[in-house]
Structure 1
Amino acid sequence: MRVGFIGECMAELKELDGQLSEGFAGDTYNSAVYLKRTFNQHETFYISAVGSDPLSDQMVAGVEEENISTRFLKRDTEKHIGLYRIYTDDEGERSFIYWRSDSAAKRMMSMFDATDIASMTALDMVLFSGIALAILNEDDLAQYWMLLSKLKASGTKLVFDMNHRPSLWRDNEAAKALYAKAFELADVVLPGLEDFNFLYGFETIDEVISYLEQFTFDEIIIKNGSDPVTVIAEGNRMTIPLTPATKVVDTTSAGDAFNGVYLGARLAGVEIEDAVQKASKCAAFVIQHRGAIVEAGTYQDFVQNLA
């Protein structure tokens, strides 16, 4: 299967053994990495824009090392990639500081030509998130909606992860309006209860489900930390318990890892309950390590034992 991930990959600074360590990460990119590492049979593409500077060169090389195609990763001669710094508390809960106000990814859509768009319509699935909706400039956002509409019309399955970051939005109403458009286009949604709590004030899964009933989806997968995952598919509602991690070092990328492995499993023909279990095991493993993306060899050892 051919899977695309649209978004922004940034330089990441994290503390490791008392020193700052550099890597590259971003919500949809993290999902692409974990999907490809876990289900190598899927052809995976990252859709974005980066700069033409040495740091961007290093990032692109990293994408290629993950066996993710850079066919749709465009180069901007005037901009650079963004950067963020992870901070974690004693419980492993993360917070971030960003430097991304003028990143190349903000105008990625203006860099795709008709051939690029036509090639994207051959993708079987594309994941997009609320972060891209928040960072794209006005002109690129209009082109973004056109791209998503063309993909859906071509038969590409669209997957939306809210991943709501309040600091990226000028106000809640702007976020709600764009999320509603995303829900109208999406075939699969992967929100967390926390996303809806931040934006709509919902405190229960039932409130989330009630809100989403106005839209039509193939699958709704609602995450709630270490609590059970709620899935609605084919008219059925399932509550799938998880085995929480016994050690939490850094919760960065937990949801991203879940998304990538869940989607990879479903594309590989795995049933929903088993796909959720694989995805949750991956997320639990990831949060036992610092940073968004676990070192490749360490992760591959984990995959070999993933039931």
Structure 2
Amino acid sequence: MTPQPHIALIGECMIELQHRADGSLHQSFGGDTLNAAVYLRRELGDTAHVDYVTALGDDSFSDAMCQQWAQEGLGLGMVQRLPGRLPGLYCIQTDANGERKFLYWRNEAAVRECFTTPAAEPILAALPDYDVVYFSGITLAVLGEVGRERLLQTLIETRRRGGKVVFDNNYRPRLWASVEAARAAYHLVLAEVDIALLTEDDERALFGYADSEQVFAAYPGIAEVVLKRGADACLIRCAGERFAVPALKVEKVVDTTAAGDSFSAAYLAGRLKGGSPEEAALAGHRLASRVIQVSGALIPR
């Protein structure tokens, strides 16, 4: 790992409401790339600079988000605050097995203008100088068509300057006008990815791949492909080699929120620290196994 690499994670953080068994709601904050940013910063500590790239409003919830991120050690220099706007909101409902259902209110979220405001220009200019740029399928969806095009150009320039691009596929059908629109957007950015952190179920839902072999065959140009498969072993293809790393058994699953995000963060941290793909995947499984035993996206430090 280069001395103190600079890492940028792009996406959306929302107000999170956890619907509890007694009918009460517990309010916190979460979002896939934000979850990954927090866990990545915790894993790497002061050995890296981790910045979050998003747009928020000028409301008290946005203030509280920024305060929490600063306490976690995230850099806020790439966070836009848009007057009169608000962050998105979602509610998590979990069943007896810890499986989750999400309800979203995000159509007017400030992040939709993240790459289209005048204030975005210096941010877009600075991103290609980062050592690692990380984003997700949810990032793609919420940025909109213009934002996606600007992101794509940023990824191309990042790689041209020697940076690495990391993508977590996180496909959410309801965020897209059609599956065809999602496929087109994914295909464009996947051509500019160095490490693909893919959830097998999402690959099936988006592209119809029947099994892991079809997934790996679909991405011959990506140097490192990690296939997350829940409680089953994750599968990795890196430098022409293939690995299977078993997940850790958990006695009781409380909430699977952020399981994939935390795995991705610990995996990336492991690789940045010089660990092998197998070592990084074990770290990913370890963190994810802790996360799913606690309610909410971010477990206490």
Cα distance, 1:141 vs structure 2: 2.4
Is residue 196–residue 208 contact of structure 1 (8 Å, CA) maintained in 2? Answer: yes
1:83-232 alignment, distance < 5 Å: 83-111=89-117, 112-213=119-220, 216-232=221-237
Shift of 1:78: 2.8
Tell me the residue number matched to 1:273.
278
Mean Cα deviation higher: 129-138 or 62-71: 129-138
Residue correspondences, number: 294
Q: Tell me whether 21-30 or 108-117 shows the greater mean CA deviation.
A: 108-117
Q: Which residue of 2 is the match for residue 302 of structure 1? A: none
3-state secondary structure, aligned to 1:140: helix
Taking the aligned partners of 1:110 and 1:154, their CA distance within structure 2 comes to: 23
TM-score, normalised on structure 1? 0.92
TM-score, normalised to structure 2, is 0.94
1:265, distance to aligned residue in structure 2 (A): 1.2
What residue in structure 1 maps to residue 18 of structure 2?
Answer: 14
Aligned-residue RMSD, C-alpha = 1.4
SS at match of 1:87: strand
CA distance in 1, matches of 2:244, 2:297: 27
Q: Per-residue deviation at 1:55?
A: 1.0
CA distance in 1, matches of 2:58, 2:257: 27
Counterpart code for 2:168: D
Does structure 1 residue 291 correspond to structure 2 residue 296?
Answer: yes
Q: Deviations over 1:132-164 (max 9, x none)?
A: 211223322222222222222222100111100
Return the letter of the residue paired with 1:103. Answer: A
Deviation of 1:200 (Å): 2.1
- CA distance change for structure 1 residues 75 and 288 in 2, over 3 Å: closer, same or farther? same
Does residue 54 of the first structure (1) align with residue 70 of the second (2)? no
**Percent of matched pairs sharing the same residue:** 35
Find the aligned partners of 2:120 and 2:199 in 1 and give their Cα distance.
Answer: 34
- Provide the C-alpha distance between the structure 2 equivalents of 1:87 and 1:17, rounded to a whole number of angstroms: 9
**Do 1:4 and 1:125's aligned partners in 2 also have CA atoms closer than 8 Å?**
yes
Q: CA deviation at 1:218?
A: 2.0
Shift of residue 110, structure 1, vs aligned partner: 2.0
- 1:189-210 deviation per Cα after TM superposition (whole angstroms, max 9, x unaligned): 0001101111222231111112
Tell me how far 1:114 sits from its aligned partner: 4.2
Structure 2 residue ranges without an equivalent (≥5):
none
